[in-house]
Chains A and B, each alone.
Chain A
Amino acid sequence: MNATAEQPKVYAIAAEFPTVAALYHAAEQIRDAGFKKWDVYTPFPVHGMDKAMGLGKSWLSAVVLCGGITGLLIAVVLEGYPSLIDYQTVVHGKPTDWATVPAFVPIFFELTILCTAFTIVFTLMVMSQLPRWNHPMFNWERFSRVGDNGFFLAIEARDPKFSEDKTRSLLESIGGNHVTLIHD
């Protein structure tokens, strides 16, 4: 908790759930209650949680496709321009014309994969808003178990349906323990 600030801003109200199944059902109820700015925190990716939270398919794949195509185009230019146009090198008296294009395929492939991989990692970071040094959730002592066996659900204060009392009682009614106000 931020000790220096007079009145730390409320970031969210969070609860802990005893099992992954309890968290899963809680997420379904929060989704049905119409909340938008909320999240669950788990030590591992929970199967089906996206559906329970009402989240669609990740758009990461679309960005990655563009990255892969960029890689392929880079390879086409990188190999095609020098080998066919700029400076044709005759090695062992072998041909250097358009019929040799199949010899370029391995590098087309490798650079496509390389650009795809970099796009995946950077897009993942951008879409997850990482890296970041800190996060309000880390202010909660119990949250240190999120990488171990803690299952948490937090509803953010910026959600239009957020109200300290009502959200607290909602979280308690769906089986949340240690319901806590998280400050920035």
Chain B
Amino acid sequence: MDAPLDPQAAAVAKIPLVANDRSMDWVTEKVSTIVEARTPFWWWVAFLITSPIAVFGLCCIAYQISTGVGVWGENHPVGWAWDITNFVFWIGIGHAGTLISAILFLTRQKWRTSINRASEAMTLFAVICAAIFPGIHVGRVWMAWFLAPVPWYEGVWPNFRSPLLWDVFAVSTYFTVSVLFWYTGLVPDLATLRDRATSRVKKFFFTVFALGWRGSNRNWRHYEMAYLILAGISTPLVLSVHSVVSFDFATSVIPGWHTTIFPPYFVAGAIFGGFAMVLTILLPARVLYPQLRDLITKQHIDRMCKIILLTGSLVGYAYAMEFFTAWYGGNPYEKWLFLRNRLADPFFIGPALHITPAPYWWAYWCMITCNVLSPQVFWFKKCRYNLWVVFIIVNFVNAGMWFERFVIIVTSIERDFLPSMWHMYHPTWVEQGTFLGTFGIFLSLFLLFMRYLPMIAMSEIKTVLPEGDPHGAHQGHKTGGAV
């Protein structure tokens, strides 16, 4: 702020959410020109890298469907492996968007306005990637409609008491509601782009998708109520989706899966991994579009880092609690599994307890290092404000969250009750290619989104500008803008 404040006022003054005192016109101009300007060279380079990866992934899927699930490394007893790991990984990433748009809206966290649009888009793309895996995992993909609640086969209905069917409903509801929420938020911004459009084609498309929105307050009145209720229903929804995903495991009898702590543990992990992915995407976007730096300020990044620190520590607590329960609960199978399938490394714990190291000890310790230890640097403000540190740590978190799902799924079943069945799991190139392909799909969709839709919610960000305050700005106060 340029205006001199008296020291007392300066002490309590908050950092404005939009840096450098930008005007409404500046916001409209800078956000819209991302969509309106010529496609930048770097965009083509990036897209020409990500889209072949996406196509390769789709080829892997086609090969798997045409040949059979045998092209994957899964077998008894490891019937769920990379496919379900990747499903849970992506669906978890999809949680940050709705958390930002719904929960932070209800808790009046105004800083969400800069990041909600991009995060919601990220949510949709992550859920698309997630939905691929259970679909192709069923093996006979052409029978996937058995999941639908209709008496298709000899009058038999799907088993509504099965968590796998709950999952079908939870994920499809989540995706649909996220699309509706995202689109409702987009309408006023599409209207802005419609009014600015110069070419006939653009004008036509924006006219269609802006639905004739004209910023009428009689419409805003219903719009705000609609947005509030959408946020209200999305809040329990986002908490329910990963809870239902965790029921897939928690309601089974497998040691390591049969755990009552799973729903909150999964939800905390999802928010943790989701925010990490939001930062992974927004930090480069901020470099490529420097005008975004006044909208997505270091203050925003700082707050996201704090959420990562909080949820990372919650996840660490959940890991510790699982071990405590395994030991204190007295179930010998569970105790055996946690010690010998996960914890025992070949250097310290294994030799100290005279037990053979766990086959996947490295996966377990990768998870602990990336998810619990690495975010602890965010206790320090210097680290939260150093974008290189943030970028490196959030990528550790991305990797760590993938390892978490791998550890939960594979290490619980690769050595189960019957030692004659023990079998090490190795992924084949098809599984690896499919997983890589989902990154291609995710990034390609995000690049298209950046190019063709406003990636910052202009109409929302204007409400947090001092200029947008109907009660203060005209008297020379700067009441708006800070949280």
Contact = CB atoms under 8 A, between A and B. Distances in A.
Given A55-B221, A128-B219, A49 B470 contact: yes
Contacts of B25: 148-149
Contacts of B160: 78-79, 82-83, 103-104, 107
Interface stretch (B6-14, B164-172, B394-402): B164-172
A120 B217 contact: no
A58 B225 contact: yes
Contact of B28 (A116, A127, A148): A148
A87 to B, nearest CB: 6
A12 to B, nearest CB: 12
Contacts of A9: none
Interface residues of B, number: 71
A113 B463 contact: no
Name the 4 nearest CB pairs between A and B, nearest first: A147-B192, A21-B474, A131-B211, A132-B212
A64 B227 CA distance: 12
A11 interface: no
Interface stretch (B48-56, B150-158, B385-393): B150-158
B470 A130 contact: no
Given A47-B469, A147-B192, A113 B173 contact: yes
Chain A interface mostly helix, strand, loop or mixed? helix
Contact of B188 (A23, A24, A44, A82): A44
B470 A21 contact: yes
B176 interface: yes
Interface in B194-240: 194-196, 207, 211-226, 229-230, 233, 236-237, 240
B226 A45 contact: no
Nearest to A137: B214
Given A50-B217, A107-B169, A110-B240, A147 B191 contact: yes
B192 A148 contact: yes
A148 B195 contact: yes
A19 interface: yes
Contacts of B244: 106, 110
Given A20-B470, A87-B157, A106-B244, A39 B216 contact: yes
B125 interface: no
A114 interface: yes
Interface in A47-105: 47-50, 52-53, 55, 57-58, 60-61, 64, 68, 78-79, 82-83, 86-87, 89, 91, 94, 100, 103-104
Contacts of B218: 39, 55, 128
7 contacts: A43-B462, A52-B470, A86-B151, A121-B180, A148-B24, A149-B25, A149-B467
Contact of A100 (B161, B220, B236, B460): B161
B168 to A, nearest CB: 9
A125 interface: yes
A124 interface: yes
B214 A89 contact: no
A78 B148 CA distance: 11
A22 interface: yes
Contacts of A103: 160-161
A72 to B, nearest CB: 12
Contacts of A42: 215, 217, 220
A29 interface: no
Given A58-B222, A58-B224, A107-B166, A117 B180 contact: yes
Given A21-B473, A45-B463, A125-B211, A64 B229 contact: yes
A134 interface: yes
Given A43-B24, A57-B225, A82-B151, 15 more contacts: A21-B470, A21-B472, A40-B216, A43-B192, A46-B217, A50-B217, A87-B155, A89-B156, A106-B244, A113-B173, A113-B177, A116-B229, A128-B223, A135-B212, A148-B195
A118 B463 contact: no
A41 interface: yes
Contacts of A39: 216-218
Contacts of A100: 161
B246 to A, nearest CB: 12
A167 B188 CA distance: 29
